[in-house]
Amino acid sequence: MKKKPVLINVVSGKGGTGKSLLVAILGRILAQEGSSILLVDLDPFVRGLTHFFYLYKKERRRITDKQTIADFFGLTRGESKSMEFARERFFEVDLIPAVSKIEEHLEYMDTTGSSKERTKELFTSLRDMKYDFVIIDNRAGIDDMIIRCCELSDLSLSVSEADPVARSTNDNLLRHLRDSNTAKVYTIMNKVRYVKTLRDYRESMEEIRADYDIVGKIPFDVDLFESFGKPEFWNEANSTRYAYGISEAWNKLAHREEIPTVIDLKRFPESRIWPVKSSTFASRIDRMLIATGALFITAYFIVDRIMIRGGIHWLDLLLIYAVGLLFVPFIRSFVMGSDKEFSERKNSR
């Protein structure tokens, strides 16, 4: 008999931290590594996860004819009694969508009273489904229903950002969850800036060593951000720095929770996911010309001022300084690689 699924609830203290994207990409990577995955869009008003599915699906008019989360909570046509849910195939994973049409207008959602009971019924039903992991994309913020979902899940993942506002809203959420019956809550810091190389990433991960609750830091990935919503997005998203950050965080979480499923990090070759952006302004030939010019000036200076005239005047320091400046772009491009190398590496992703 198949084991019951692990229920993972994804929350955040404030909106827009990256929950839906994390749910989608983590779900896909775990499925590619051999797990069976169900994603649940429990955010019927924003419906970010369902939006991803909507963009992926060829047939645009209707997302599903079966019961959605909005139907289940009575936000469309009165409370439903059915425990059968739509399960749409989204790449390698199944998804219970939030709504049946992306533009569907919903009734105001009362998060107290009967919806708390419904939440319990939903989670009981999810627990009986035959998956390894059920990952729930919850709403941002704090309310009764979100806390209830955390209590009913095996573990919760709070997605925060590194800025003071996101950190403080995350702390608020964690305080509320600590006062509840929530089992375990881990934080993932998303959109971490100034992480361009593997070294930057490692240094940033060092900072969380002592913090038991933070399981990972995911770099702000400008390439991912720029291709968000475009057709090529989903082909590239699984092999980005972003996906690598999620995978490493998952492995840490799995280690702490004694979950045997780990993601093989060899799927992220270093040279492909850590392109070093060059900030050079000239081509390789231009840089050679600059360097040769600087070398000739230096040679002239050494022969004329030191060997022939036999001494350096204080004004000569200006010349030394200017020659030094000429070398800077050359040295920088030598250390960081050329634009062409960067774009080649980027194109190979």
Ligand X SMILES: Nc1ncnc2c1ncn2[C@@H]1O[C@H](COP(=O)(O)OP(=O)(O)OP(=O)(O)O)[C@@H](O)[C@H]1O
What is the binding site for ligand X (CB under 6 A)? Answer: 12, 15-21, 43, 46, 48, 140, 190-191, 218, 220-221, 224-225, 228, 242
158 binds Mg ion (CB under 5 A): no
Q: Which does 15 bind (CB under 5 to 8 A by kind): Mg ion, ligand X, none?
A: ligand X
Instruction: Pick the closer one to Mg ion by CB: 49 or 273.
Output: 49
Output the smallest distance, CB 50 to Mg ion, in A: 10
Task: Convert the chain into a string of H (helix), E (strand) and C (coil).
Answer: CCCCCEEEEEEECCCCCCHHHHHHHHHHHHHHCCCCEEEEECCCCCCHHHHHHHHHCCCCCCCCCCCCHHHHCCCCCCCCCCCCCCCEEECCEEEECCCCCCCCCCCCCCCCCHHHHHHHHHHHHHHCCCCCEEEEEEEECCCHHHHHHHHHCCEEEEEEECCHHHHHHHHHHHHHHHCCCCCCEEEEEEEECCCCCHHHHHHHHHCCCCCCCEEEEEECCHHHHHHCCCCCHHHHHHHCHHHHHHHHHHHHHHHHHCCCCCCCHHHCCHHHHCCCCCCCCCCHHHHHHHHHHHHHHHHHHHHHHHHHCCCCCCCHHHHHHHHHHHHHHHHHHHHHCCHHHHHHHHHCC
Instruction: Pick the closer one to ligand X by CB: 71 or 221.
Output: 221
Output the smallest distance, CB 21 to Mg ion, in A: 8
Output the smallest distance, CB 269 to Mg ion, in A: 30
44 binds Mg ion (CB under 5 A): no
Instruction: Pick the closer one to ligand X by CB: 22 or 294.
Output: 22
Instruction: Pick the closer one to Mg ion by CB: 8 or 294.
Output: 8
Tell me which of 12, 20, 76, 138 binds Mg ion, using CB under 5 A: 20
50 binds Mg ion (CB under 5 A): no
48 binds Mg ion (CB under 5 A): yes
Paired with 156 in beta bridges are: 9, 185
Q: Which does 21 bind (CB under 5 to 8 A by kind): Mg ion, ligand X, none?
A: ligand X
Q: Which does 275 bind (CB under 5 to 8 A by kind): ligand X, Mg ion, none?
A: none
12 binds Mg ion (CB under 5 A): no
Instruction: Pick the closer one to ligand X by CB: 90 or 242.
Output: 242
Instruction: Pick the closer one to ligand X by CB: 79 or 203.
Output: 203
Segment lying near Mg ion (by CB under 5 A), choices 20-28, 29-37, 103-111, 333-341: 20-28
CA distance 68 to 74: 10
251 binds Mg ion (CB under 5 A): no
Size of the site for Mg ion (CB under 5 A): 3
Instruction: Pick the closer one to ligand X by CB: 194 or 225.
Output: 225
- Residue ranges that bind Mg ion, judged by CB under 5 A: 19-20, 48
